[in-house]
Amino acid sequence: MKILKESGFSAEKIVENGNKFLIGNGYLGYRGTLDEFGAKECVGLNIAGLYDGVAGKWRETVNAFNPFYCLICADGAPLDVRGENIFSHEIALDMEKGTFFRETVFSVGGGRVTLFSERFISAVEKDLLCSRLRLTSEKNISLHITAGIDADIWDLNGPHLCEVETHCGGTFAEASGKTQELGIPVRVVCTFSHPLKRVRGGMGEISINLKAGESFVLDRVARVLVGEEGFSETDFLTAQEAHRREWARLWSLARLDAKGDARAQFALDYSVYHLLILAPKGNYSIAARGLSGQTYKGAVFWDTEIFLLPFYMDVLPQCAKRLVEYRVNTLPAAREKAKSYGFGGAFYAWESQNGYDACSDFNVTDVFTHRPVRTYFKEKQIHISADVAYAILKYYGRTQDDEFMLRGGLETVLSCAEFARTYSYYNHVKKRYELLDVIGPDEYHERVNNNAYTNYMFYLTAKEGVALAEKFLKKYPACGEKLLENLPAKILEKLKEWTEKLYLPQPNGEGIIEQFDGYFRLEDVGVEEVRSRLCHPNEYWGGSGGVATATRVIKQADVIMLFNLYPDLFSEEIRRANYDFYLPYTEHGSSLSRCSYAIAACNIGRREEAYSAFLESAEIDLRGGGKQWAGEVYIGGTHPAASGGAWIAAFYGLGFGKKEDLQ
């Protein structure tokens, strides 16, 4: 049984457990909170792909109204986990069934009352979520229940819904509003298995007398409707049966065997669970914090292409196609961004909200002055376009989907290469092209020259893109003109000449590839020494004045990431030398880092180190790990890329394969 449990209640763990016990279906995500909780306890019903911006604040995904709010009194005593009458309390996540449970036993008038509830978001119908609440008592009691749709929404940068209206009557409740920016209607409708009396807005009341040993059950079936969507009615048990069948099918596709290692098996199952609840159900992609809330503005980062796509290509290929199609569909926005900076080709959004770059010029707040700090992620992390091209090429290599490539995939790859070509500088003294003023995966060192990861990624994807274009021109001569019609004249010849002269950092005498020009000249100190220089635990390590900026200490795997994506590019000896060199300097300030080193360790035969790093990555949300703050900005939530990276390490490195593959 794949069940995550936690006993006892701690107010300090409300936010952490909201992430840890998250349920979802790729479109909706409901945080692991309790029936009696509200906005102050960070209840969140997050909608994928729906964004809104309020003037003067960051644009982010929208949280919907909460249809499962419920406050219960038994003989006048509140059944609230925050009270003092708790006898026992447990929450659980059944990963096999995609269902959240809670059971709390309260002491009421010398007897015990048990509140049990379960909820799931349908794996079959994207807008459907269901809850069942059951109350039992050792003695006769009077129950008074306030239930309905809570219109008080937890937002980081809201409120996002205006013109809010709520009403209910009988067994039906509804809350509706419109997004501030585009006026998109958002409705939550909910039906109840018992009629509500004395209604006020979206809330109503149920009063009953419960006899000892009997149970009272309240089912709630809700839908989240965006735009002008309609809805069809269903009941809890019908929806539950379909939901469980689909989860059984998903696990039959995704289950891996950790060969008798119980700890690794549970961590791996938890990672796979999170990857399954994020599988997109429409024309959108996967946000960096998944469906756990509005952190990172609900935007799509390079994480999706590099760390998540491999899982979906192996397990849910239709979802993999949605992920790469998202980038093809947002090509016009990437071209517009490149043009706005004076370049050609496609410069993809660092933080993509359906193509719009939501990345702020000031992503960090100084913890001492409380002033925003200028960062350059949006302008200088140009490797995002190489990552997009890499993902499309990997998808094509797996599927041989010519139709997709002809319909925009190949054009996207070549547009990304053209951006890098126009961004590059030709050094007339050294007679080579260089990529100057960039930020690599290691974000602690901004505006560096010739970042090895960036240069190689653009070189390799451009070379492969040109070769593929030439192949397609021969294979589909009738499509030749159309294939290149939206690209500059003689694009293939220009890219060939550029790749021949692009500077690619080479291993030095010790076999080490310098992360960027001048890296070896930085102060040679380790992570703990730099950590000891912090004056505040939430200081940002990078930027112009961070504690790591003038040192060799890096945020996450950088050169090592290149080896993971192109393991045959250098010999194992070179890869081993770089692994040993960069690991002591890596702070692992990103959830992408441990899994990157796990994959790298697998590739050089360091199984014990790979296993340890795999567990660090796979258990990050189980132990509530990861940074919660960057300066004064909250960055908490789940870590899908860590789950994806752990899966890559497990499946491709540690040999935790599918059971049928191991027989």
Q: What are the DSSP calls for 150-204, one per residue? A: E-----SS---EEEEEEEEEEEEEEEEEEETTT--EEEEEEEEEEEEEEEETTEE
**626 band by pLDDT with thresholds 50, 70 and 90:** low
Q: For the segment 280-331, what is each residue's pLDDT rounded down to a tens digit?
A: 999 999 999 999 999 999 999 999 999 999 999 999 999 999 999 999 999 9
With a CB cutoff of 8 Å and minimum separation 6, the contacts of 299 are: 287, 288, 349, 351, 352, 353, 358, 359
**Dist. CA 174–CA 222, nearest whole Å:** 9
State the pLDDT at residue 483: 87
State the pLDDT at residue 627: 62
**201 band by pLDDT with thresholds 50, 70 and 90:** confident
Chain centroid offset of residue 419 CA: 27
State the pLDDT at residue 628: 65
Q: For the segment 172-190, what is each residue's pLDDT rounded down to a tens digit?
A: 999 999 999 999 999 999 9
Q: For the segment 117-143, what is each residue's pLDDT rounded down to a tens digit?
A: 999 999 999 999 999 999 999 999 999
CATH 2.70.98.40 region(s) of the chain? Answer: 23-251
Do 592 and 627 touch, CB atoms closer than 8 A?
Answer: no
**631 band by pLDDT with thresholds 50, 70 and 90:** low
Query: Burial letters for 284-306: b for 16+ Cβ neighbours within 10 Å, e otherwise?
Result: bbbbbbbbbbbbbbbbbbbbbbb
State the pLDDT at residue 232: 85
**0.85 surpassed by pTM:** yes
State the pLDDT at residue 663: 36
Average pLDDT over residues 49-65: 96
With a CB cutoff of 8 Å and minimum separation 6, the contacts of 353 are: 51, 59, 297, 298, 299, 300
659: pLDDT strictly greater than 80: no
State the pLDDT at residue 231: 80
Q: What is the CATH number of domain 23-251?
A: 2.70.98.40
**Dist. CA 6–CA 9, nearest whole Å:** 9
In CATH, the architecture of 255-662 is Alpha/alpha barrel (1.50)
100: pLDDT strictly greater than 90: yes
Chain centroid offset of residue 226 CA: 21
**Dist. CA 496–CA 36, nearest whole Å:** 63
Average pLDDT over residues 451-471: 98
Q: Would residue 443 show up in a list of annotated catalytic residues for this protein?
A: yes
- 631 versus 170: the higher-pLDDT residue is 170
With a CB cutoff of 8 Å and minimum separation 6, the contacts of 339 are: none
Q: Of 16, 41, 418, 443, which residue is the catalytic one?
A: 443
Q: How many helices (H) and strands (E) does the chain have?
A: 21, 24
Q: For the segment 150-163, what is each residue's pLDDT rounded down to a tens digit?
A: 999 999 999 999 99
| pLDDT above 90 as % of the chain | 91
**482 band by pLDDT with thresholds 50, 70 and 90:** confident
**Dist. CA 575–CA 567, nearest whole Å:** 8
Tokens of 67: 């249809």
Alpha-carbon separation of residue 122 from 4, 26, 65, 99, 322 (angstroms): 20, 10, 17, 10, 20
State the pLDDT at residue 176: 97
CATH 1.50.10.10 region(s) of the chain? Answer: 255-662
Strands (E), 277-332: none
Average pLDDT over residues 358-383: 92
Q: For the segment 322-360, what is each residue's pLDDT rounded down to a tens digit?
A: 999 999 999 999 999 999 999 999 999 999 999 999 999
